[in-house]
Structure 1
């Protein structure tokens, strides 16, 4: 699943390539997830200029002239693909966007779960890269759930998924099984610092790898999250266990608070 770093890079690439261009054609391949009719969506954005592409939590927001916003949530397996003469109609297409000049991109998803939403509602939860120490402390202090579950709860903070929750918690040396409200203030400060460090470093590395292309999610940046990674950079054996139905990776280097 694309998370905050991947989506940040995607938004930058799409902005460089398409902002300022007018949407000439919208090809709707799968309409079941739309919150409006196909005609209403096409009427809202076809013929409009793309003014901005931004990441919003774990979604992408496409801003068109006339204050029109289309949100795309790639869900578990959704991807983005640039359109070309060699690839004019990508497999498993959900939406296809063609701009003036003939260039464009597609949203694809084998599972057909990628979700377009016209004029999405604003979220109340802070973004993971914008949350302040007091906010993070308040979120954790109010929860008796395991800290990893809290980090992944998009109603608490936006942007972090399964992979980067593991990476952040390892960097902060906090066990994913720690009870959120039992984490001391010093460790909360470290957690906030680790969130910024891990996410921003991943953005840099993914941006360098992608250039101006959409190569998909990059997982080579992971230090502990991954079935093929046997030891952490510190040499500790990586263990795995399910948390909230998702496989979590961790080491004994991480302290348990309960």
Structure 2
């Protein structure tokens, strides 16, 4: 699943390649996840200029010149691909064809990628815009396992399974720790790790993608990878399940219960 760093880079690439261009045709291949009819969506966006692409939590938002916004959640397997030679990609959900003759498509084998016209604002803060005091207060009230809390999009937006593991490893904090049992000093480290890990990932992914939509990149991850048996420090990497999702961790990460 694309998470905050991937989506941040996707937004940068889309802006670089398509910002300022007029959407000539919005091709709707899969209708079931729309919150409006395909015709209403096309009427709202076609012949409008794409003014900006932003990231909100785990969604991309496409802003158009008539103040219409298309939100897009790629879900578990959704991808963005460039359209080449007017060929229709396999598993297409949507395709954006611009007047200048280029475009891109949303594809998803599982057909779960979800476009939403004019999505409602969400109250939960973005993971890169967390207030430290509010973060400390949040953890002090929760008996939830810390990894589950980091991934709770109603508490903070943007972090998923992969980066929760990366952040907790960086903070030397066990993913099985109970949120409210974590000492304030360790919460401070965790807060800093969120920013450090996410910003580093954005930089790494941005450099690797360049100006191309290459999909998610995880080669640089420190711990969340089935290919790794030990960390760079030589710590054995263990796996377990939290909320049905595979969790990667080491025994060196501190556990607070």
TM-score class normalised by the smaller sequence: over 0.9
Corresponding residue for residue 15 of structure 2: 15
Mapped to 1, the partners of 2:223 and 2:115 lie a distance apart of 32
User: How many angstroms does 1:139 deviate by?
Assistant: 1.7
User: How many angstroms does 1:88 deviate by?
Assistant: 1.9
SS in 2 for 1:60: strand
Mapped to 1, the partners of 2:193 and 2:212 lie a distance apart of 28
Mapped to 2, the partners of 1:153 and 1:12 lie a distance apart of 25
Structure 1 segment 84-123 matched on structure 2, within 5 A: 84-85=84-85, 88-123=87-122
Mapped to 2, the partners of 1:185 and 1:194 lie a distance apart of 14
Corresponding residue for residue 223 of structure 1: 222
1:38 corresponds to 2:41: no
Structure 1 segment 52-91 matched on structure 2, within 5 A: 52-85=52-85, 88-91=87-90
User: How many angstroms does 1:232 deviate by?
Assistant: 1.1
Corresponding residue for residue 29 of structure 1: 29
CA-atom RMSD, angstroms?
Answer: 0.7
Mapped to 1, the partners of 2:137 and 2:94 lie a distance apart of 39
Task: Tell me the alpha carbon deviations over residues 125-149 of structure 1, each in whole angstroms, 9 at most, x when there is no partner.
Answer: 0000110211211221121110000
User: How many angstroms does 1:110 deviate by?
Assistant: 0.1
User: How many angstroms does 1:234 deviate by?
Assistant: 1.5
1:161 corresponds to 2:160: yes
Q: TM-score w.r.t. structure 1 length?
A: 0.98
Corresponding residue for residue 179 of structure 1: 178
Mapped to 1, the partners of 2:143 and 2:254 lie a distance apart of 17
Task: Tell me the alpha carbon deviations over residues 168-195 of structure 1, each in whole angstroms, 9 at most, x when there is no partner.
Answer: 0000000000000111111111001101
Comparing 227-236 and 17-26, the one that deviates more = 227-236
Mapped to 2, the partners of 1:139 and 1:31 lie a distance apart of 38
Mapped to 1, the partners of 2:134 and 2:97 lie a distance apart of 41
Structure 1 segment 185-200 matched on structure 2, within 5 A: 185-200=184-199
Mapped to 2, the partners of 1:140 and 1:224 lie a distance apart of 24
User: How many angstroms does 1:251 deviate by?
Assistant: 0.2
Which runs of structure 1 show a deviation greater than 2 angstroms over 4 or more consecutive aligned residues? none
User: How many angstroms does 1:235 deviate by?
Assistant: 1.0
Unaligned runs of 5+ in 2: none
